[in-house]
Chains A and B, each alone.
Chain A
Amino acid sequence: MDEFFSADGYAAGADGYDEMLDGDRLIRPHWQPLMAELGRLGPEDLVRHRQEMMKLLRENGVSYNIYGTPEGQHRPWQLDPVPLPIASDEWAAIEAAMVQRAELLNRILADLYGPRELIRQGLLPLELIYSHNGFLRPCDQIRLPGSHQLVVYAADLARGTDGRIRVIGDRTQVPSGMGYALENRATLSRVLPDLFRSNGVYALESFFQHMRDGLSALAPAGSESPHIVVMTPGPFNETFFEHAYLAAYLGYPLVQGDDLVVRDGHVWLKSLGGLQKVDVILRRVDEDYCDPLELRENSRLGVPGLLEVMRRGNVAIANPLGSGVLENPGLMAFLPGIAEYFGQALALPSIATWWCGQHRECDHVLANLSSMVIKPIHRTAGTRPVFGSRLSRVAQESWRERIKAQPALYVGQEEQHFSTVPSLTNQKLEPRHAVLRSFMVATKDGYAVMPGGLTRCAPGSKDLLVTSQAGGSAKDTWVLAPAHAALPLAAYGPEPASAMTDTPLPSRAADNLFWAGRYAERTEGTIRLMRIIIKGLFDQPGRSNLAYAPGMACLLQALTAMTGTYPSFLADNPPAPEPELRALAFDETRPGSLAHSLRSQLQASYAVRDLWSSDTWRIMDELEEQWIVAKRVNSPDLWQAMDLMDQLLISLSAFGGMAMETMTRGKGWLFLNIGRRLERAVLLLSVLRSAFSLQRPAEIESYLINALLDSSDNLIRNPFQHQPPGLEAFIEMLMFDDNNPRSLIYQFERLHEYIAELPAGCGDEHFHLTKQTMEALRRAHANGLLAATPTDTRLQLDTLLGNLSGMTYRISDALTAAYFRHEQSHPLSQAQAV
């Protein structure tokens, strides 16, 4: 075997526990087939495969959003090609222990919002629970149907230097990571299918089927085929990728708070087909943000009245509001006692924990601070575990004071060095501390454990803290089947189903698709006009043309009108073209700029991430990547910008084509295309009006016609290849030719056709407006449209274009009013007691 993959080349610390090497530095048996397979590949191949994986992950939009970075950047998910195998006998023990812990936490949760017998019996201190911000008093005495209150549960597991596995954290509020685990498997099995050949690895799909069954079983009595939605705080959340991925994979609509409304004691989804009753919510919004009436009143992510519906049992929320009370490290100190109270012994210990709310325990923590990890009992933004061993004397003292001031709010946990796993760093396997997140879901028959999980490694060899926010990479986690076991192998991971099927389309999603279409078109239109302007500016021979100067001025003005970036080139003293054009290309803060439109398009698209096919998403990712690269070029000159625009244009066309090809012609497709058609009409109207409302000398008009023809891909089918058309023919082509996909009439005809297909019952103003617009345009198709007054104003043309432009805004408003109304709720002020 290559030295690279042998025990000799791997520098696992002698003092710790390594998952791959045993105490004699021999590869553990359950790692041997894997290491042999990796050895066959060789280091270069492995590094190359990692690059391939990263590309695949990036293209699939797998990201983890990091707070506090500019624009809330999406950080691509880091996946290590070396998986973590778990031997079948060890897994059997872990699985049993996980089920036991889930059942135990479930009983505690039911008790804390029920009789609170554990507090009465002295098994849990009242202060530990009542001081915790996850103990939601409005949720008292509310129960989900069935015996399980804790529906989805995740536990973080780590092995200590003594070789024992311990639970180091419980996730019960909105456990995240299972979507990433699924995507890790999908990616690894696509890039390195050979690895799976010599290892019997359990597939993950069955777990998600359990999840579907478990969620369906929660539906209030009488719902034959329950409606289930995934509720997300939106695209700015750090795990939004996962929300969209899970929604698409499970086949549920992805909704935000304002897609839902409470009415008559039920929760309804505001979908395009009207209100649809929601039976079960898979919640990814933090619980205190879920209902501004009873919980955090300034929340914009929730649904007013939601808690009351849950109280009445008319909607099941998983996990139920209030389940965050279990996400309390202080509980760990009391679990053995509670388990005993229920007649059990805890199979898998938690990490040694002392809750400072008790005198003796507090004294112990204070006295041994340098070997402790200090954690608050509840997670609050910006707090991280504190390693006592890394604190200065002064800092230790100040922590002692902090703990003494509010002892009930802190725990001390023993500082443990977790086991290491081989992790591929620059062409080398190096040991890294690792934590495994294991996932469980409640079904009618008890908890099902995911046969796998999400393994995360610390970023550096000295790093002890393992979190996604801190960086580091993830590993696919293999649960190995016992020898000779027949098991359903999944060579390939699942591809999330592209939605747009018969699941209801939330109106917010329709809104985003509409704007994704509009912005895509606006970006494209802006590029087309800018390219022609830049080309003109650099075309030295062309500048000798007498029409050049007035023609260029007119084009620049058309750009201002089209992008709505007034006053710009329409100012009395217009700016110098080059710097202004650069700003219009790259200044993201300037509405109307190319950068702004592209960013808006990407944002709108990302918000409906679950609705795109993976191929469409790949193009979107390419767009973003091109843009990021472009921004890195320090003040690119206009000529460089041209190159970039050419690339963008290709990607945009691919996006348009792909969206058309891969989306079924459902409501989502309609809104995307309504947006595109409407925007194309808007842009064309503003350019035509800006260029031709005033009659100019023939040579200037001919310059403009040439330029505009050049800017649209009409060039390809330009019937006037050699000789530019006259204005009349040009206007005929761009306004009235219903065979030209870039003509005005073509846009309005399609609009009319698409709008007619929209769900009825939302008013029909938009329908009538579109019809009127189309008819007005047809009526105007007459001689004399281009006649000018003595002052050179083409009154008829100008009036027509102005009216049509007004109509497009009315159509947009009418669509918004009919389909995308998202009013923000706000709290009433309260009377002071005087």
Chain B
Amino acid sequence: MRYRVAHTTVYEYSEPVTLSYNEARLLPRACPNQQCPSAALEIFPQPSDYREREDFFGNRVAYFSIRETHSIFSVTARSEILIQPAEAPWASQETGWETVRDTLWHLRDPQALDARQFALPSQLVAADAALAAYAAPSFQPGRALLHAVHDLMQRIHTEFIFDADFTEIATPLATVLAHRRGVCQDFAHLAIGCLRSQGLAARYVSGYIENLPPPGQQKMVGADVSHAWFSVFVPDFGWMDFDPTNNQVPRDQHITTAWGRDYADVTPLKGVIFGGRHHALKVSVEVERLDELNS
């Protein structure tokens, strides 16, 4: 599948900003089933300093600084993405989740070693007893890892209400769990917390989802905004994504921008400014399908 994505973020300030420093994780990274032939940022006003690099997790980061005094700041990321349908390892993966948990600590191959960091608590997602308790029904003894995770995803989808007004960026996971409400970011964090509470490695994926309602069905939630889901580490296979907001295993409609331990590692746009006083933030995303690949 081939997509064109435009992701625009606009800040409007009540007073002029004299200086700003920013970090964007808006340029989609390469993944096993995703290529990004072109991606660029359009920044207004023109930055006086701009540089791209890769971060600790291999995500693409753009650092820039604006010295021109301004009252409106906008960044548009335009990218083209190619996605091959992801293969799910259902058949080959009947390993019980406890076995996966217990062997994770002994694996020393580079991929598994790298995965181990995603089992540790992170800034926004620390496993605790409440998360373990919520996870427990899905993690019955002896159950195959992928079935357990799939069940967890389904339960989150059905037991939690999507409510864009309930949470904000700093809402703690405990509040989400207690009120059974949130948005995709919360659901991804929740699932990651549940998995970590079981000793499993899970990471946060930031990206977009195609806004293409199947005939006769409703538009999927998370379209036209930035989206997030989670991924679980499966030894001898790699990472497998799950989207609890839409209750689906991503195949070729999820476009990955970046991944990390949680949202704080992959915040699409961060900034520190001088001046500005109050500001308003607007985000819009357009995902356009260009043509179908291999079909």
Contacts and interface: CB of A to CB of B under 8 A. Distances in A.
B179 interface: no
Contacts of B63: 305, 308
Interface string A240-272: 000000000000000000000111110000000
A293 B267 CA distance: 12
Contacts of A120: 108, 110, 113
Contacts of A831: 9, 169, 226, 268-269, 281, 283
8 closest residue pairs by CB, A with B: A828-B271, A137-B56, A833-B228, A304-B272, A834-B183, A833-B185, A304-B21, A305-B21
Interface stretch (A122-130, A164-172, A584-592): A122-130
Interface stretch (B27-35, B45-53, B142-150): B45-53
A126 B11 CA distance: 40
A825 B272 contact: yes
A130 B113 CA distance: 11
A825 B273 contact: yes
A832 B186 CA distance: 9
B120 interface: yes
Contacts of A830: 169, 267-270
Contacts of A400: none
B67 interface: yes
A833 B9 CA distance: 13
Given A131-B120, A263-B67, A823-B275, A828 B183 contact: no
B116 interface: yes
Given A828-B273, A832-B169, A130 B120 contact: yes
A137 B19 CA distance: 26
B55 A127 contact: no
A833 B273 contact: no
Interface in B165-190: 167-169, 183-185, 188
A119 interface: yes
Interface string A286-321: 000000111001000000110010011000000000
9 contacts: A138-B55, A262-B21, A294-B23, A297-B270, A305-B63, A829-B169, A831-B269, A833-B226, A834-B225
B224 to A, nearest CB: 10
A290 to B, nearest CB: 13
A834 B164 contact: yes
A382 interface: no
Contacts of A823: 18, 274-275
Contacts of B120: 127, 130-131, 408
Contact of A833 (B227, B270, B271): B227
B253 interface: no
Contacts of B110: 120
Interface in A602-651: none
Contacts of B164: 834
B22 to A, nearest CB: 8
Interface string A697-736: 0000000000000000000000000000000000000000
Contacts of A833: 183-185, 188, 206, 225-228, 263, 268
A265 B51 CA distance: 10
A293 B228 contact: no
Interface residues of B, number: 54
Nearest to A828: B271
A265 to B, nearest CB: 6
Contacts of B20: 828
Given A137-B56, A264-B48, A832 B168 contact: yes
A478 B127 CA distance: 51
B167 A832 contact: yes
B219 interface: no
B222 interface: yes
Report the contact-size class of chain A (Cβ under 8 Å from the partner): 35 or more
B65 A305 contact: yes
Interface in A384-417: 406, 408
A292 B274 CA distance: 12
A140 interface: yes
A747 B283 CA distance: 57
Contacts of A834: 164, 183-185, 222, 225-227
Given A122-B108, A832-B185, A827 B268 contact: no
A824 B63 CA distance: 21
A264 B63 CA distance: 12
A81 to B, nearest CB: 49
Given A304-B272, A834-B185, 15 more contacts: A120-B110, A297-B270, A305-B65, A406-B121, A827-B273, A828-B22, A828-B270, A828-B271, A831-B283, A832-B168, A833-B183, A833-B228, A834-B184, A834-B222, A834-B225
B71 to A, nearest CB: 14
B117 interface: yes
Nearest to B18: A823
B272 A293 contact: yes
Interface in B94-130: 108, 110, 113, 116-117, 120-121
A749 to B, nearest CB: 36
Nearest to A122: B108
Contact of B281 (A262, A305, A829): A829
Contact of B65 (A122, A262, A827): A262
A140 B183 contact: no
Interface string A794-834: 00000000000000000000000000000111111111111
Contact of B49 (A130, A140, A264, A406): A264
B263 to A, nearest CB: 7
Nearest to B280: A829
Most buried by B among A119, A137, A834: A834
Contacts of A406: 121
A127 B106 CA distance: 12
Nearest to B272: A304
A352 to B, nearest CB: 24
Contacts of B281: 828-829, 831
A122 B106 CA distance: 10
Nearest to B228: A833
Contacts of B21: 262, 293, 304-305
A829 B279 contact: yes
B275 to A, nearest CB: 7
Contacts of B275: 823
Contact of A126 (B55, B113, B184): B113
Interface string A673-707: 00000000000000000000000000000000000
Interface string A167-209: 0000000000000000000000000000000000000000000
Given A120-B113, A126-B117, A830-B169, A265 B272 contact: no
Interface in B213-253: 222, 225-228
Contacts of B65: 262-263, 305
Nearest to B267: A830
A119 B107 CA distance: 12
A130 B117 contact: yes
Given A131-B120, A823-B275, A831-B9, A293 B55 contact: no
B116 A126 contact: yes
B20 to A, nearest CB: 8
Contact of B53 (A131, A311, A832): A311
Most buried by B among A264, A824, A825: A825
A827 B271 contact: yes
Contacts of A264: 48-49
B28 to A, nearest CB: 15
Interface string B1-32: 00000000101000000111111000000000
Contacts of B168: 832
Nearest to B129: A405
A125 to B, nearest CB: 9
Interface in A449-500: none
A140 B265 CA distance: 14
A51 B270 CA distance: 55
B230 to A, nearest CB: 12
Contact of B270 (A131, A408, A827): A827
B165 to A, nearest CB: 10
Given A131-B120, A830-B169, A834-B164, A137 B55 contact: yes
